[in-house]
Amino acid sequence: MTSDTQVSRTRKLVVTVLGIVTLLCAFLYFLRFVLLTWQAVAGVYGSPVLFFVVLFFTLPTAIICTVISLIVVAPRPCKLAWISLGMFALPFVIAIGVTLIAPETKAH
């Protein structure tokens, strides 16, 4: 495993850029989540096509950027990519948590 002093500046810059790309993918993913929630509250939600299209383009990009960051440097210096990739699971964790906390709550 490499330490922070052994990683060159160029590699750190590449990892930072890849982390930002992963963060932007996670932001687009959450923006889609907000849009679909807004549509559902307004009563104009049509289908889950937007969900799958955004997920199809953002999740593989985020995974690829994180894997490249891991290859370029050790897992420690690419924290931004790890955190951003973990954000993709957050809506599902929240949904499971809400279901466990309030199982009797039903949508109207």
What pLDDT, on the 0 to 100 scale, is given for residue 108? 56
Residue 18: Cβ within 10 Å count: 23
Residue 21, pLDDT above cutoff 60? yes
User: Exposed e or buried b for every residue in 39-57, given b needs 16+ CB within 10 A?
Assistant: eeeeeeeeeeeeeeebeee
- 1 pLDDT band, cuts 50/70/90, is very low
pLDDT-derived band at 107, boundaries 50, 70, 90: low
Across 15-44, average pLDDT: 85
Give residue limits of the domains in the chain. Answer: 9-101
Residues 103, 87 contacting (CB under 8 angstroms): no
- Quote the Cα angle for 73-87-43, to 5°: 155
Per residue in 42-81, pLDDT (tens digit) is 888 777 788 888 888 888 988 888 888 888 887 776 777 7
Q: Output the pLDDT for position 5.
A: 55
